[in-house]
């Protein structure tokens, strides 16, 4: 670079060399400014302001840790060994709550006689167990009254067994557990806030108690989440994506939630939609390879290289995403008002207009529509992008990078023109990520990897129910009331 403008050389060749150097520096700085402006524009759109819940972070982390600890504890048997528990003393259920009383009498022989000797029975007393239940808008207490009957001849005692409950020896009923899960993972209410809401009803339930209930429920419902995973992997085409989540323990790190979606409604498929979530401590390519080890078919995904381990095995075929291509041109147009980016967006919009005509039709009809209308547009877009890349003044510009990305991904999009059961983009998976994105703005951290696994189970159940138009709270209430006695080999019967 020229440092002394007063001592310019007289030689023309030297002056040309100085000018060439200045031009190169100017071009380099222009590209850097363009790149920084593009990055700044993207960051501004992603910035939603600072969190106003910073003081609540400690409680949010603690509740995730307690959920993980409860989920790791084995489910109790009917007659657990008597061991001391380091738990706070239970308070009696509030007297002001209405009671729904059920009298559960023993199943006796004809005439109510002793089934041991046929003698007459007399009442000795009764066992009363109270269970805290939740009906939307109000609390209720279920009272299970089990009379004890003794034979007057042989002194044999008769009493009906307690019905199975979601948490053995626990206070919460299935409706209350379902409400807590849906509030946390669908309505994004951290447990400490739920505890405050319950306190307004004069029902004191500590946040740590709620955490234990959530962890135990996730463990109980895990076989159902695995059944949903099997259903997803039976599809001939799925959608995959991932997103970040901050994990607090054992040390702060960035974990990942993976989503795998099966949704055949756009091509009039008869099978029900479902979404399967998995949590992992990092973004290693081994995780999706492990999750989809037994899957064979097409997978809509972004250009993440970690998926290559799946593609290399030959069982999974990649289908690229036009939405990712469009997003790069949109960012450039937003930050630079580029005419080329605007034209690319216009051409991509024409492809989506064709998709609107094909949506909801059987695969054969969709292929015919795409072959007639979309294929010429797709091929023209590819040729036009190549011509614009050749005309770019600098191959290092953000626009040139977006065009190269588009051309590389479009080679992996062409299968959608031949197969009616494929989609043009991966928006189905991206939509399934939204609940996690909204939720992490409220709970901020996962307490541990085990807490992430519990969250993935809850998201799997709740979001699958929503995809099928099923009220997740009503469905989970029914499932939690039956799953403890349900045979594991028939768990598919409980799917929404």
How many CB atoms are located within 10 Å of the residue 111 CB?
7
Q: What is the mean pLDDT of residues 6-28?
A: 78
Full-model pTM: 0.80
Kindly calculate the radius of gyration of the chain based on its CA atoms and give it in whole angstroms. 31
pLDDT tens per residue, range 154-177:
989 999 998 888 888 788 999 999
pLDDT score for 215: 93
In this structure, of 213-217, 250-254, 305-309, the range with the lowest mean pLDDT score is 250-254
- Of all residues in the chain, the percent with pLDDT exceeding 70 is 90
**Does pLDDT of 15 surpass 60?**
yes
Q: What is the mean pLDDT of residues 392-397?
A: 79
Q: Is 378 exposed, middle or buried (0-12, 13-18, 19+ CB in 10 A)?
A: buried
**Does pLDDT of 30 surpass 80?**
no
Q: What is the mean pLDDT of residues 290-299?
A: 96
**Does pLDDT of 5 surpass 70?**
no
* Mean predicted lDDT score pLDDT of the chain: 87
pLDDT score for 164: 85
Q: What is the mean pLDDT of residues 37-54?
A: 57
Closest CA to 432 of 324, 275, 262, 234: 275
pLDDT tens per residue, range 72-85:
766 655 455 555 55
Q: How confident is the model at residue 465 (pLDDT cuts 50, 70, 90)?
A: very high
pLDDT score for 56: 47
SS (H, E, C) 49-80: CCCCCHHHHHHHHHHHHHHHHHHHCCCCCCCC
pLDDT tens per residue, range 338-391:
899 999 999 999 999 999 999 999 999 999 999 999 999 999 999 999 999 998
* Alpha carbons within 13 A on the beta-carbon side of 17: 7
pLDDT score for 365: 97
Q: What is the mean pLDDT of residues 272-299?
A: 95
pLDDT score for 338: 86
What are the Cα distances from residue 332, in Å, to 40, 299, 327, 345, 398? Answer: 11, 28, 9, 11, 7
Q: What is the mean pLDDT of residues 255-270?
A: 96
pLDDT score for 484: 85
pLDDT score for 65: 67
The Cα 117–Cα 124 span in angstroms is 18
How many CB atoms are located within 10 Å of the residue 95 CB?
7
Q: What is the mean pLDDT of residues 93-116?
A: 85
The Cα 236–Cα 55 span in angstroms is 47
**Does pLDDT of 189 surpass 60?**
yes
Q: How confident is the model at residue 425 (pLDDT cuts 50, 70, 90)?
A: very high
Q: What share of the chain is helix, strand, coil (3-state, %, to 5)?
A: 50, 15, 35
- Of all residues in the chain, the percent with pLDDT exceeding 90 is 59
How many CB atoms are located within 10 Å of the residue 428 CB?
23
């Amino acid at each position: 670079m020229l440092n002394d403008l007063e001592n310019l050389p007289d030689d023309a060749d030297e002056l040309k060399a100085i000018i060439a150097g200045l031009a190169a520096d100017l071009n380099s700085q222009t590209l850097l400014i363009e790149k920084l402006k593009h990055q700044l524009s993207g960051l501004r759109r992603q910035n939603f302001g600072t969190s106003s819940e910073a003081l609540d972070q400690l409680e949010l982390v603690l509740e995730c840790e307690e959920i993980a600890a409860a989920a790791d504890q084995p489910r109790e048997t009917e007659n657990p060994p008597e061991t001391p528990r380091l738990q706070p003393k239970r308070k009696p259920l509030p007297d002001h709550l209405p009671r729904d009383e059920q009298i559960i009498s023993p199943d006796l022989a004809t005439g109510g006689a002793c089934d041991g000797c046929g003698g007459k029975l007399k009442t000795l007393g009764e066992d009363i167990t109270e269970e805290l239940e939740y009906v939307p808008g109000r609390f209720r207490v279920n009272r299970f009254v089990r009379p004890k009957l003794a034979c007057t001849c042989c002194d044999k005692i008769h009493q009906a067994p307690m019905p199975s409950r979601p948490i053995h020896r626990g206070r919460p009923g299935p409706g209350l557990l379902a409400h807590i899960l849906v509030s946390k993972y669908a309505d994004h209410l951290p447990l400490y806030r739920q505890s405050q809401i319950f306190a307004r009803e004069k029902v004191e339930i500590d946040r740590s108690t709620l955490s234990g209930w959530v962890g135990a429920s996730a463990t109980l419902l895990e076989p159902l989440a695995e059944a949903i995973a099997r259903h997803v992997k039976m599809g001939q085409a799925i959608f995959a994506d991932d997103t970040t989540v901050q994990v607090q323990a054992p040390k702060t790190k960035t974990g990942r939630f993976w989503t795998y979606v099966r949704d055949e409604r756009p091509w009039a498929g008869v099978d029900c939609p479902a979404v399967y979530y998995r949590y992992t401590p990092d973004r290693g390519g081994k995780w999706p390879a492990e999750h989809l080890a037994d899957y064979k078919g097409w997978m809509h995904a972004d250009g993440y290289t970690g998926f290559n381990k799946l593609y290399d095995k030959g069982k999974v075929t990649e289908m690229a995403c036009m939405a990712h291509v469009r997003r790069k041109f949109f960012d450039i147009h937003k930050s630079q008002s580029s005419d080329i980016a605007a034209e690319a967006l216009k051409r991509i919009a024409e492809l989506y207009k064709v998709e609107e005509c094909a949506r909801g039709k059987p695969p054969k009809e969709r292929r015919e529509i795409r072959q007639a209308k979309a294929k010429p547009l797709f091929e023209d877009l590819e040729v036009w992008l190549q011509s614009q890349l050749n005309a770019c003044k600098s191959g290092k510009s953000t626009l040139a990078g977006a065009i190269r990305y588009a051309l590389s991904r479009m080679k992996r999009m062409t299968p959608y023109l031949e197969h009616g059961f494929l989609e043009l983009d991966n928006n189905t998976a991206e939509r399934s990520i939204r609940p996690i994105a909204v939720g992490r703005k409220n709970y901020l951290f996962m307490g541990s990897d085990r807490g992430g696994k519990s969250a993935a189970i809850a998201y799997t159940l709740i979001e699958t129910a929503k995809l099928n138009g099923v009220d997740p709270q009503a469905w989970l209430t029914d499932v939690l009331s039956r799953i403890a006695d349900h045979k594991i080999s028939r768990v598919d019967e409980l799917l929404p």
